[in-house]
Structure 1
Amino acid sequence: MQLGKNEELRQWTRTVIEKMPHLSKSQAVVLAMWSFGIVMTQSSGLTTVSVFLAELLGKKENTVRQQLREWLRDAEDKTKTKDGRASLEVTSCFSPLLSWILCLWPESEKRLALAADASTLSDRFTVLAISVVYRGCGIPIAWKIVEATKPGSWKPHWQELFRYISQTVPADWFVIVTTDRGLYADWLYQQIKSIGWHPFMRINLQGLFQIQGENSWRPINSLVPEVGQSFQALVTCFKTNSIECTLLARHDEGYADP
């Protein structure tokens, strides 16, 4: 494929080919086109990106549009050609995406924060995603999209997502994994620990905890009743499905709950 004289797109395409070596060249080229077009137009709309790239590359809009559309289709929906169309399993991109980010990390900064989050798109889909946290932004590196109203546990999805990336981060790195209250589960806590990473999980105020070395159980919601208070201790958290952990609590101004 000729990319014309646009050096920025040419350079970006070379980068995508290098950093995503599991992709075929044609897959990497179209991924580069899509991502470059989205960034430059600040839109993910097919028409907007097609118009921009067609003008940039000196091609017909319909030609570019078809090329971009093919990337989005399922394998069985792709246009049939003599050499066939390779189907891409998106999970194969998770480890390379994380590796790409880590290669840009300062060599002396062997610390990483990941965030696991569930975001609902109206009443249609829920996106389960693991992202690299960097300067207040989350960069998704592994995800699963499920029907928002479909019954079933998210447990196998989260377990699978963590398995895909668990071997990508070097063993000597310090990694914390943050989750919000709605995602806490003892099995998820244990799985994160089994990788060698550190769970940093918000929990609801219900339940009891026991400070290590003590016999009494205390309610979690009694920890920091006043604004400005904080708490830290090694504890056994919850009587049912207990975990051994460090319990942190803080009540900041402007928040009704700790």
Structure 2
Amino acid sequence: MKRFVLVGLPSLAAAGALAAYRPLTPPAAARVPVVVELFTSEGCSSCPAADAALRELEAAQSVPGAEVIALGQHVDYWNRLGWKDPFSAAQFTERQQAYAAGFGTGSYTPQAVVNGQAEFVGSNRAALVAAIAKAAQGPHAAVQLVRQGAPWPVQVAALPAGAPAADVLLVITEAGLATQVGRGENAGRLLRHAAVVRALRPVGQAGGSAFAAAVPLALRPEWHPENLRAVVLVQEPATHRIVGAASLPLGALN
């Protein structure tokens, strides 16, 4: 079992310690991580187009200034309509409902949520690109994944000025997943997905500039390690605004 250590850097005094680290991600000034959550379902006939749009944007990384991080969350409320989505979970339905309460909208699929602040139909590629580009211009925490040798640290250098305490979440995604659907609205179709969220859990709360935790990284045997990615989110609980993120392919840990 691999482990991550999440380390908050309280001041510039820690900068010297970072000299020993070799970054795995590009400098924040080059590309700002932007999180796109896609609430989707294999039972929804309009969802495959949204999955394709997000999958292509993440692969191409074509939005200037942004590093697109895709989080495909399969909701479970379509399961009663003829096809049970194997990637669905009530947890993702509940997360979508929390967003819906904040936005004042109902839950629907496919729904895209960008950095917790903008929502729209997930197949609207133009809206997706515009929201990602806008989010990349906003203030953000300096979250960076680095290589030092096991265990693997994450630095959360600082929250944006004036930001309240924020939840730190660990997400595991798996890319390259596809399903031959046997029933329901997509019967007979081979569906290829954007990065599917396999696990999402809180690991603590960051306030000011200090955060530290040792987080076990438990992977299930049916997941394919070469397609897995760990994502760290820093998200304000009241506004749902994601103020920082970083990701690391888990193949880099082998």
TM-score computed with the length of structure 2 as normaliser: 0.21
As a proportion of its length, which structure holds more helix? 1
TM-score computed with the length of structure 1 as normaliser: 0.21
As a proportion of its length, which structure holds more strand? 2
Higher RCO structure (Cα 8 Å, ≥6 apart): 2
Question: Which has the greater radius of gyration?
Answer: 1
